[in-house]
């Protein structure tokens, strides 16, 4: 779930959010959660207000 090498952070966040929300809550742990968290942390702070990045954050904190 890392950002694509071309730097399309928005698309990476959308895909990660879709993957997380498609899983039952019991499966949003361990490696899956860690990779999504790594993706979120790799996004520069100035982009954290973008809708796709906020959606990923919300999915991680739900």
Please, are residues 39 and 1 in contact by the beta-carbon 8 Å criterion? yes
Task: Write down how long the chain is.
Answer: 62
The tokens for 41 are 């942390």
- Rounded distance between C-alpha atoms, residue 43 and residue 14, angstroms: 13
Task: Flag whether 51 is in a domain.
Answer: no
Task: Flag whether 57 is in a domain.
Answer: no
Task: Flag whether 56 is in a domain.
Answer: no
Asked whether the predicted pLDDT for residue 6 surpasses 70, the reply is no
User: Is the pTM higher than 0.75?
Assistant: yes
The pLDDT, as a whole number, for residue 5 is: 54
Q: Average pLDDT in the 7-22 region? A: 92
- Rounded distance between C-alpha atoms, residue 51 and residue 6, angstroms: 20
Number of structural domains in the chain:
1
Task: Flag whether 16 is in a domain.
Answer: yes
Instruction: Kindly report, residue by residue over 20-52, the tens digit of the pLDDT.
Output: 999 998 999 999 999 999 999 999 999 999 999
Instruction: Kindly report, residue by residue over 53-62, the tens digit of the pLDDT.
Output: 999 999 999 8
């Amino acid at each position: 779930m890392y950002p694509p090498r071309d730097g399309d952070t928005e698309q990476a966040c959308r895909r990660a959010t879709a993957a997380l929300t498609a899983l039952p809550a019991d499966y949003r742990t361990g490696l899956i959660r860690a990779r999504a968290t790594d993706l979120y942390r790799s996004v520069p702070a100035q982009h954290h207000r973008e809708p796709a990045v906020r959606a990923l954050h919300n999915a991680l904190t739900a």
